[in-house]
Structure 1
């Protein structure tokens, strides 16, 4: 698609803000960048443009938490299931007009925001860890392939599994990393990832890298609660705006 200078400026600003949030609290990049981009383009394009920058964000987040090989060994099954689910979701996204998935994106964000208000009896997650990884990994991957948002499903799983903050951050980012890598392969093989998209992604990668560096530096200096409140407020506005855009 042709990219105007105005679009590049707006998109770079979106990527910068999303990466700054992610670097500061360890999560949030695709959940901020995707709905904001979806307001100025279609969801399909928004997901494609976030592919390469998200890989960088995921790698930095996983590495910055330490104990990399232990984390990979522990979370690999969940990430592999997420990869399979992401393949299914991406193939569906490629086959069907992505505009219909904007509503799903808005709903997924709302679930994420109010997930602590929803009470489920999910004791079986700890009792059957292998089965729960299969179910939640596939579900998170499919949702991520369709909307670029895995967090609602992964948060339910990681919280019910009693993961530490470090484990939650690394599990989420590893699942997203595997999902993005398979999406790059699938979009490219189906001719969906053009040279223009690649060039735009590389520009966004620069903005993302700078903001991510700043975010990681200030991670220990600013209270996470402040960022969480601002993030949730922004996401609520975005979810409502997207749903209004789709239905009205």
Structure 2
């Protein structure tokens, strides 16, 4: 057993619980902690399997996959393109500034949400907003290995019900994970040596996610909203401070 194995298990157990509760947080927590003991590109490679499996699970467990695909296909296509553009920053191990900016943006959005100052995007604007948000999310994914900004604020602004929002996040994160994996593979950064830690990370994530979903199903809508934005704030602060380490 590698010396980092206990850390990998603990990190992905915590990340899985967070994801189970609010539908996100796995890549943010995992990348933020793992980069303290390994290069960001290696952390991103280990993240691929648990991220893909948990996001597909989250996507398929939701109420209506087809309608989400019809509504968000242009955003998903743009995410893919943007990821291949931004991957050079992650491969170059130059993601510190990007991660800090990501954390600050996430924390700011969490604060605004807790204050009740969320914004709404009307459906007639989605035709041009979705691909722009998707491309920006792809750039962030490629540069940091984290796929939350600006996808999460945008999807939350669409006024989706709790379970539809969780499913939309699952769709966005699934596409982002696939695009990140393809981009890393194209740069020769996906290797068999990552297989064992990736499988262990997956098992820990699934256990954590099951626990988190149990908690989420018992939250009232208003409580869920507060927990959602509080977690965004904490994740953002953590990501920003971890980038300074």
Q: Same fold (TM over 0.5)?
A: yes
Deviates more, 1:70-79 or 1:141-150: 70-79
Counterpart check, 1:73 vs 2:74: no
Written as runs of structure 1 = structure 2, the 5 A alignment for 1:171-186 is 171-186=168-183
Counterpart check, 1:110 vs 2:104: yes
Match of 2:143 in 1: 146
Structure 2 unpaired stretches of 5+ = none
Match of 2:152 in 1: 155
Match of 1:203 in 2: 200
Please state how far the C-alpha of 1:183 moved relative to its aligned partner. 2.2
Structure 1 unpaired stretches of 5+ = none
Match of 1:63 in 2: 60
Q: Is the 8 A contact 2:58 2:167 kept in 1?
A: yes
Q: What is the number of equivalent residue pairs in this alignment?
A: 238
Match of 1:26 in 2: 23
What is the SS of the residue equivalent to 2:216? coil
Written as runs of structure 1 = structure 2, the 5 A alignment for 1:207-226 is 207-222=204-219, 223-224=223-224, 225-226=226-227
What is the SS of the residue equivalent to 1:151? coil
CA shift in 2, pair 1:183/1:227, >3 Å: closer
Q: Is the 8 A contact 1:53 1:204 kept in 2?
A: yes
Written as runs of structure 1 = structure 2, the 5 A alignment for 1:24-103 is 24-94=21-91, 96=92, 98=93, 100-103=94-97
Q: Distance in 2 between matches of 1:125 and 1:43?
A: 37
Please state how far the C-alpha of 1:16 moved relative to its aligned partner. 0.7
Q: Distance in 2 between matches of 1:237 and 1:180?
A: 21
TM-score, L = length of structure 2? 0.84
CA shift in 2, pair 1:227/1:40, >3 Å: farther
Please state how far the C-alpha of 1:197 moved relative to its aligned partner. 1.0
Please state how far the C-alpha of 1:135 moved relative to its aligned partner. 0.8
Match for residue 131 of structure 2 among 118, 130, 134: 134
Q: Distance in 1 between matches of 2:46 and 2:154?
A: 28
Please state how far the C-alpha of 1:200 moved relative to its aligned partner. 1.5
Q: Distance in 2 between matches of 1:76 and 1:111?
A: 25
